[in-house]
Amino acid sequence: MTFLKYLCCLTLSGTAFSAAETLVKSPDGKIEVGLDLKKETGVPTWRATVDGVPVLKPSAIRLFAGDKATKPLKFESGQVKITEFKEDWKPTWGQFSTVTDHHHQATWTLTSAGTPQTTVTVRVSNEGFAMRYEMAPSGTKVGDRTMLDFSGDYTMWAANGERPNHGPVKLSKWNGKRRLQAPLTLKVSDKLFLGVIEAGIYHQHPFKVHRVEGTKYETRSDQSAWGDKSVQSSWRTILVGRDAGDLMVNQMIFNLNPKSKIADTSWIKPGYTLWDWRSWGAKAPDGFEYGLDMASWRRFIDFAAKHDNVRYLMLDANWYGPEFLAASNPMKSRDHVLEQLEGGEIVRKEAPKDWKDPIDVPAIIKYGKERGVGIILYINEKARVKYDFDKTLETYAKWGAAGIKYGFMTIRGDAKVQETRRIVEACAKHKLLCDFHDGPIPGSGDERTWPNYITREFCHAQSDAKRAFTPGHFVTTIFNNGMTGSLDMANGLYAIKDAEKVRPRIFQKVNTTVVGETARTLISYAALAILPDIPEAYEAKADLFKFIETMPMTWDETLVQNAEIGKRVTVARRSGETWWIGSATDEKAREMEIDFSFLPAGTEWKATIYEDAADTHFKTNPETYKVRQATVKAGDKLKVKLAPGGGHCLMLKK
């Protein structure tokens, strides 16, 4: 393991900010952040330039202390210490096998009569810059309005919960009455992109981004009650990329989080999971109809056991009873059968007296473990609140479950963040993976600290909320929301044609091609990727499924090409001496070029190519495809064609 770590002091404390601006530069000198405190205002400010281009005008770091305080705190003096840090570290899983954390950091101490001592910390790396504040115990509420006074009228995209992303829209044209959820992607020019994101969300609720006027925005974190504890905010972070694709693989938010708090991570294994929910109601060629039952689960497990990287089966809602019924005990298998009506309504019915195959979740977990397949169990917040949650997790661990999928957290604000942390830590204690659904807190690099927090639905997952997303939506989400880390997008449907007509839990036509679905499972990074189809759908296209089943879901290296937000993308990922490459387009057919200059000079590679057929179209003919073999050399360029809404896949072996 390559390991380099050093910490040195560049400037000793004692600099008075009221006298002159202090500059903090990235190690490569291309990013510069200026910090200042004007005596006449008493409010600290920050500004930034990238590649010599101003991107952030002097912007106030406004801190508020006291219940419903409306005036920012004023400071009379400040001291600074600038240090340098460099370290190579290995994540438990991720898009790279090794991550470098190399940054310069300014620790700025601010004091004022009658005001708690405050420290503003600014880090600048080659990947961006970030700021957070820490206030000594004050026994009062603390919040901030950190200004982002952008230097130009940049084009913006933003997260939007389970709906299509906002944008593209000019900063000056956004409706100022509507708050935005980070992350935001800003296009400064064809050669410069910024990502506004939050890192290290551990205490306060995630900030919202508001437009003040023109191109002036602010991140708002409302006052929070902390009592006698010191207040340490999350990092207000600006990622920097010279291409939109750089933001997808930017590692800065992970570097802004503490090291893993799980000593032994050997039990945390990335991979694919089959899923009973979207498959419910699908019929196999032999007439078998999939349900939320023992026979279906065994069929899933038997299929997964044949494919090394299909490691899990996820049992979704209602395995222990109606999920929104507080009386449903999450430590007992349900004692009734389920039926879906037209439109997807779920009806509970008494089990027959001669029920030959009653629901027995401990038994199905045992069946899976005997075949090397882990089981992930859904749990709703109502069950967590009603029953002893630690006892519930202890029970799952004794059964041998691999993890949980947490659904429908209803609490808000700081409590939601803190409760999420308690749940993830409790899962780690019992060696359980954790997948959060239904409006989770955003990924903030926190999976470095708690790598059992393996994915979250911080996006519109396919067919969730009874809607299908468009191809254009996909190639926007993976740029913007993809900055947050592992996403549960539920790509990988293979029986696409008329799925909405024959499966009660798919409510709208899925806008994709089967090669596009295959590519999406690679492009949208997830350490735990959900496969929404039945085994027979994958077996019917076994040659295409080979691309999916061989993917390890944790990588040595990741590259992005053809990056154009809302239009197209190519992602290449390497594990060992094999590359998987996936491309996707919006609703338009495209010809794209894949540049193999990233391959070692003088090498030759066997390529298996999976592509849309000449007649493929996401609306009318989504399941046609072709597979062929070719040879490529380092430095070659390959032109590939994608059908409307389609994709393209390559697997390279040396």
| Distances, alpha carbon 595 to alpha carbons 519, 558, 581, in Å | 17, 14, 11
With H, G, I as helix, E, B as strand and everything else as coil, classify residue 296: helix
Termini Cα distance of the chain: 24
Q: How confident is the model at residue 15 (pLDDT cuts 50, 70, 90)?
A: very low
Query: Given the structure tokens 């209803």, which residue do they identify?
Result: 410
Which structure tokens are listed for 52? Answer: 């010599």
Q: What average pLDDT does the structure give for the chain?
A: 94
Residue 609 belongs to domain with CATH number: 2.60.40.1180
Q: How many CB atoms lie within 10 A of CB 164?
A: 16
**Polymer length of the chain:** 654
The number of folded domains in the chain is 3
Q: How do residues 31-89 score in pLDDT, each as one tens digit?
A: 999 999 988 899 999 999 999 999 999 999 999 887 777 889 899 878 899 999 999 99
Does residue 285 sit within a domain? yes
Report which of 425, 446, 629, 423 is spatially closest to residue 546, judged by C-alpha positions: 629
Determine the angle formed by the axes of helices 413-429 and 389-399, rounding to 10 degrees. 30
Does residue 175 sit within a domain? yes
Give me the pLDDT at residue 140, please: 78
190, 243 contact by CB (below 8 A): no
Task: Tell whether the model's pLDDT for residue 341 goes beyond 70.
Answer: yes
Same domain assignment for residues 518 and 612 = no
With H, G, I as helix, E, B as strand and everything else as coil, classify residue 599: coil
Residue 439 belongs to domain with CATH number: 3.20.20.70
The pTM of this model reads: 0.95
- Average pLDDT (92-109) is 98
Same domain assignment for residues 294 and 220 = no
Task: Output the CA angle 530-533-535, nearest 5 degrees.
Answer: 110
Same domain assignment for residues 288 and 198 = no
Q: How confident is the model at residue 227 (pLDDT cuts 50, 70, 90)?
A: low
Cis check: omega of the bond before 168, within 30 degrees of 0: yes
- Average pLDDT (5-20) is 44
Same domain assignment for residues 396 and 523 = yes
Same domain assignment for residues 482 and 589 = no
Same domain assignment for residues 510 and 645 = no
Does residue 567 sit within a domain? no
Q: How do residues 199-217 score in pLDDT, each as one tens digit?
A: 999 988 999 999 999 999 9
Report which of 205, 134, 266 is spatially closest to residue 444, judged by C-alpha positions: 205
DSSP structure string for 441-490: PPP-SGGGT-TTEEEE--S--TTGGG----HHHHHHHHHHGGGGS-B---
Same domain assignment for residues 222 and 323 = no
Report which of 392, 89, 390, 393 is spatially closest to residue 265, judged by C-alpha positions: 89
Task: Tell whether the model's pLDDT for residue 18 goes beyond 60.
Answer: no
Does residue 564 sit within a domain? no
Q: Buried (b) or exposed (e) across 419-438, using 16+ Cβ within 10 A?
A: bbbebbbbbbebbbbbbbbb
User: Amino acid letter at 33?
Assistant: V
Strands 310-315 and 374-380 come out as: parallel
Q: How do residues 123-137 score in pLDDT, each as one tens digit?
A: 999 999 999 999 887
